[in-house]
Amino acid sequence: MEAGVRDSKLQLVVSHIRAFPDFPKKGIVFRDICPLLKDAAALSAVIDLFEDHVRINYQQVDLIVGLDARGFLFGPLLAQRLGVGFVLVRKKGKLPGATVAVTYDLEYGTAEAEIQEDAVAPGQKVLLIDDLLATGGTLYAACQLMRKQQAEVLGCLVVIELKELQGVDKLKPQRVFSLVQY
């Protein structure tokens, strides 16, 4: 994709992200992707930009791994474009059958993420996808799940990165690609 086309697609994406100051609490600016999902051209632009990045930077991808819940919105679309499968990382208790889980820290406690035991095979090359990178806790937990499964994490893809929260530092040495940074 040429630079001019990439820039216009990125502008379309940015123009469809809405800011809500003081939500869910005072001092937080919530970045709402609902307008982006509602507009077919803007949603296509997100997937176009992710697809372009993946095709340029990764020789082989076996699976796209989406994080609960908004990674489920972008991941299957990207996986379909790339001709690869899609796998779910869910909150604890949401998947049937045998699962593998990890516990991770939240601002006020802990949570668990899990994957079906047979979802990822040892040695498979995976890319993780989510809508937002904030502190990095959820993506870090998903990377840990992939390591438990002996998969090779190629990198992480997010629509929005909140740079001041430095989530990318928590994910090192994983590469993180974000479309939009605030």
Which residues are designated catalytic? 70, 107
Q: Tokens at residue 59, please?
A: 């020789």
Distance CA 11, CA 45 (A): 9
In three-state secondary structure terms, 107 is coil
Q: Which residues contact 162 (CB under 8 A, 6 or more apart)?
A: 31, 132, 133, 134, 181, 182
Region at 83 (left for phi over 0; alpha for psi -120 to 50; beta for the rest)? left
